[in-house]
Structures are given as structure tokens and as C-alpha cells.
Amino acid sequence: MNQPRKDLYRTAAYIRLSKEDGDKEESDSVFNQKALLNRVIEESEDLLLAGDYIDDGYSGTNFDRPAFRKLERDIKRGKIDCVIVKDLSRLGRNYIEAGRYLEEFFPDYGIRFISVNDHIDSLKDPDTAEGLLVPFKNLLNDEYSKDVSRKVRSVLDAKRRNGEFIGSFPPYGYQKSPENKNRLIVDEETAVVVREIFSLFLSGHTVLGITKMLNQRGILPPSARRGKKGGSWHESTVRRILKNRLYLGDMVQGKRKVKSYKRKTLTEVSEQDWIVVEGTHQPIIEPADFFAAQRLFHTERKAPDGERMVSLFSGLLKCGDCKSSMHKKRVRQPYGEYVYYICGGFKRKTGCSKHSIREDKLYKAVLAAINHQIALAQSLDEVFSAVDRSRRLLLETQNREKKKGALKKEIKRFSSLIDELYPDWKAGDITKEEYRRYKAEYEEKRKEAVLLLEELEKEDLEMPTNPFLETFRETGRLFELNRTVLNRLVEEIDVYEGGKIVIRFRFHQQRDALLQRLGGEKNSEREE
């Protein structure tokens, strides 16, 4: 086997291409760079190609690139004597790092450096590598990269603020629209999993319990949708889905950002600085369910050891005096077992009393109170259907008739003005130009009045919806309690000494407003 001549330089052809750098495909493509460098090596009597080191799709703002790291290792192992690049920008666009390799690393390992388009050869003409021109060009490359990075960020931010999705992979539950890659559409295959996660969480399952259930059923995690083999669900993944406002149909982006154009390390952005655009795509989760889930993250939700579900009243029970969470206790007696709750402050010996209440009594009281609110919502709905709606419709009908009468007069007035213009023009009272200008102006105003009149004719006079009526009325009479209903209807249950409880319901402000309109008393709480 023929050995390479000792006077030949084992040469590494380093090639880099990145769209982020704004590289021109015609001149800087991988194919063209490779062809140029290989031709130069073949035509040189003292160069021998040792290999092509190609970083395709990597920015020049840092040197953490796979091919360049391999080149660095081969240099340290003595396999490379020379490095050749098309120009200095291919080596890198980081002024400081590029200078370190050219002035320290390559000389320390005796590496000859050649930049074809810059006419640099550290062996044949050392001045080309050591003069002021090299650091000046590196500085220009650095500034160019900074400017391109700034422009790219500006374009991406504009897309985010316009509600366009710019991520590489769509969020779990969605897919990119075939017609528009910046728009999300529901992926029913995974959307059904998202809905189940919310349903399980609202029914009392813990995040850990949901995670184990998904893994046991063999449901592929979001990472699998991005091409990663294997993997499993993690608590953090489930929690992220439950907290993601995107499932309401709102685009939420800009949660993280890179530290600088040189360092691609991502840092978290405070929630108030996220870019949120509402109503950009079809929602997967109803607002009531989503916000109920968010409230649960702020309550105490601990499942007993070995169980995957929290207790029925977990996070809702508070001591009426010290506002501590109530703790569940289970007592076994010869005649049976019973469950009761005590004040967490009493347990921690903060000076509060026990506030003890049995679970069976609490259950009956809460069930009765909720059914009372449901019955109230149904009766109020009937009353407003019979009284308030007719009164409102009468008033609005009267107002509409007045508006319609005024618009009809406007239409008639402008029609008359238009009819009078022609005789005025012929009589010489106005010029031809004035005739045309006045006619166009009057016709435009008459058209506006006609459109307004048509809108009034089509206007729907339905009574505005009320969250209290909608939520409680649609629930229907309950025969047993569950976590989903409690989280949707109850805000807090306060327990006082002697077994007295006060229930604060959700939408109580809307309920009080309805009662006040009917002359009733405000009562946002139900005492049992």
C-alpha cells in the first residue's frame, strides 16, 4: 500500500451552511463549497484531502457543531495538518471565538489554515493570517450575523403577534393545516386524549394518577409525535397540558427566548410578556372546564397513599375562622368506620379549635344546597322567560321603532335632495362639478341609512345569557355528588364550630344581580 508523501498536508475541508446566516444558496450551498474546496486541494501539490467535515443547518454564531467538534478532536489526535474553508464566515461568525481558533488553537497544534476567497494561507503567506484584515473580516461577519438575527426575530415576532403558529412541531392535540402551515387544526386522534386528561383531573384524579393511567394503557406521549422512539408520559407533561391556554383556542407563544444571537440557550419569559392572540383556532376544551382545572392547581390536592384520586371535598373545605384547609381523618370503631374533617390550624396547634364535622353530614348538606341553587336557577329562568324577557322586548321594540322611523325620514330626505339637484344644475344655480359631488355625497348617506335600517329589521332580540342560569340550570337535579360538579358549582365551603357550614357558590354575583332585578335579597352564600 502506498504511503502518503511526508511533505503533504492532510487537509480537512470544513463546510458550513445555515439559513439563519442568510446564506445564498447558489454560492454557499454544501455542494458548491465542497466542489470548490476539493478542486483547490486537487490542484495543490502539497495538499491531501483527509475528509470533508460538513455542518449543514448550523449557525456560525457558536462553535458547538457536530462536524466542527469532530474536526477539533481529529486535530488533537494528530490526524489533520491543515484546515481549508471557502471563506472566514464558513469557519464562524462569532468574532471572539473565530479569533481564538485562528490565533491560538490552530497555531498551538501546528495547523495550516487556508481561506480560499479571502486569499489567506498561514504557511505560504503568514501575513495574510496575522494581519489586521482577518480580525476585521471576523468582526464584519459577527455584525452581519447580529443584524440577520435581529431581522429574523423581528419577522417571527410579527408572525406571533398576528396569531400565526411558528413552531416546528404542532402542540399535542393539534396538527398543522395542509393549506397553511402557520394555522392549527384539531387532530382528533390526540385531541380525545387531551379531553380525557381534563375530564379525569376534574373528576378527582391526581396528575400522578393520570400519568400512570396513560402509560398503563400504552398511549403514545407527545414526544412520540415528534419522531422520538419509545418514551413515556411524565407528570410534567400532563401538568403542561392542563395549564396550556392553547386548548381554549388562543395562540400562546414567546414563552422562552434565546439569551443572544451567539448563545442559543433558552431562558423562560415571564407570563405577562407572553404573546397571546385569542380565537386563532378551534378549541378542544370548554372554558368552564379549563378554568375549573386552573383553580384546582391552587387548592390542596393530596391523594391518600396508594390511591390515585383525591377525596371528594379536597381543596374546597376551609375553616370558617382561621381559613386553614380542613384535614380528612378516618376513625375505625368496633361498631363501624366513619370519616370526619378537622381544622388544619388546630392540627398544627396554631390556637384554632377543632371545627370537626362528619363527612356524611357534610355530604348531605352540600347536596341539598346545590339542588336548592339548581331549583332556584330553573325558577328564575322561568320567571325571566315570562316577565323580564317580555318587558325587555317591549322596551327594545319601542326603541327600535323610533330608530326605524328616524332612518326612514333620513332616507326620504336624501332622496328628495338628490331629486332637487338636477333642476338646480339645469337652472344654473350649481355647476356640473357641484352637481356630481353633491349627488355622490347624498347617495352615500342614503345608502348608509338603508343599510342601518336593514340591520335593525334583522336584529335578534334574545335575552342575554347569564352564567349562573346557564351553569346551574343545565346541571339538573343531583342525586349524588362528584368532583366535576363540585368544582364547577362550588367556590368554597367554610366550616364553623358546632357543625355549621357556609357554602360560597360560583357565579354568585350574577345570581345576586338577577335577584336584585326581581326585588329579592342578595345572598351569595348558603348556610346549613
CATH assignment at residue 84: 3.40.50.1390
Q: In what order do the strands lie in the sheet with 112-115?
A: 47-56, 9-17, 82-85, 112-115, 120-121
CA–CA separation, 388 and 377 (whole Å): 15
Q: Is 82 part of any domain?
A: yes
Entry pTM: 0.49
Same domain, 27 and 105: yes
Half-sphere exposure of 137 (CA within 13 A, CB side): 20
pLDDT value for 140 = 47
Is 142 a domain residue? yes
Are residues 113 and 22 both part of a single domain? yes
Q: Is residue 517 part of a domain?
A: no
Is residue 20 located within the same domain as residue 143? Answer: yes
Query: Do 119 and 209 belong together in one domain?
Result: no
**Are residues 278 and 183 part of one domain?**
yes
Task: In whole angstroms, give the CA distance from residue 384 to residue 262.
Answer: 64
Q: Are strands 317-319 and 275-277 parallel, antiparallel or unpaired?
A: unpaired
State phi, psi for 183 to the nearest 5 degrees: -120, 140
The answer to whether residue 26 sits within a structural domain is yes
Q: What is the CATH number of the domain that holds 238?
A: 3.90.1750
Angle between helices 235-243 and 287-296 (to 10 degrees): 130
Of 256, 276, 296, which one is at a domain's C-terminal end?
Answer: 296
Q: Which of 251, 275, 296 lies at the terminal end of a domain, its last residue?
A: 296
Q: What pLDDT is recorded for position 260? A: 47
**CA–CA separation, 180 and 178 (whole Å):** 6
Is the Cα torsion angle 44, 48, 50, 51 positive or negative in sign?
positive
The residues with which 173 forms a beta bridge, in sequence order, are none
User: What pLDDT score does 247 carry?
Assistant: 92
Same domain? For 122 and 217 the reply is no
Residues 143 and 178 in one domain: no
Total count of domains within the chain: 2
Segments in 203-274 forming alpha helices (H): 207-216, 222-225, 235-243
Domain residue limits at 23: 9-147
161 in any annotated domain: no
Neighbours of 465 (CB within 10 A): 9
Kindly state whether residues 116 and 211 are assigned to the same domain. Answer: no
Instruction: Tell me whether residue 127 is in a domain.
Output: yes
Helices 188-202 and 235-243, interaxial angle, to 10°? 90
Quick one: CA torsion of 291, 297, 302, 308, rounded to 10 degrees? 60
Are residues 104 and 234 located together in one domain of the fold? no
Q: Is 143 left (phi over 0), alpha (psi -120 to 50) or beta?
A: alpha
Based on the fold, state whether residues 137 and 185 are members of the same structural domain.
Answer: no
Q: What spatial distance separates the first Cα and last Cα of the chain, rounded to whole Å? A: 98
Q: What is the pLDDT of residue 75?
A: 94
Q: Same domain for 133 and 13?
A: yes
Whether residue 278 lies inside any domain: the answer is: yes
**E strand or H helix that includes residue 501:** strand 501-505
Specify the long-range contacts of residues 29-33, CB closer than 8 Å, at least 24 apart: 30/54, 30/56, 33/86, 33/90
Please name the residues in contact with 94: beta carbons below 8 A apart, sequence gap of 6 or more: 60, 61, 62, 63, 142, 145, 262
Burial class from Cβ neighbours inside 10 Å (0-12, 13-18, 19+) for residue 516 reads: exposed
Last residue of a domain, one of 296, 331, 356: 296
Residue 303, in any domain of the structure: no
Q: In tens digits, what is the pLDDT along the chain, a chain of 528 residues? A: 455 566 799 999 999 887 655 445 544 688 888 988 999 999 999 999 999 999 988 877 778 889 999 999 999 999 999 999 988 888 877 667 777 888 888 889 999 999 888 888 888 877 655 544 455 454 445 555 555 455 555 655 666 677 788 777 888 999 998 888 888 899 999 999 999 999 888 888 888 889 999 999 989 888 887 767 768 899 999 999 998 888 998 888 777 665 544 455 667 777 777 778 888 889 999 888 888 888 777 654 555 544 566 778 877 888 988 988 888 888 887 777 888 888 888 888 888 988 888 888 888 888 888 888 888 877 777 766 665 555 555 556 667 777 778 878 888 888 888 888 878 787 788 888 888 888 888 888 888 888 887 776 665 444 456 677 777 767 777 888 888 788 888 888 899 988 888 988 887 777 777 777 666 545 555 555
Tell me how far apart the alpha carbons of residues 27 and 468 are, in angstroms, rounded to a whole number: 67
* Same-domain status, 128 and 36: yes
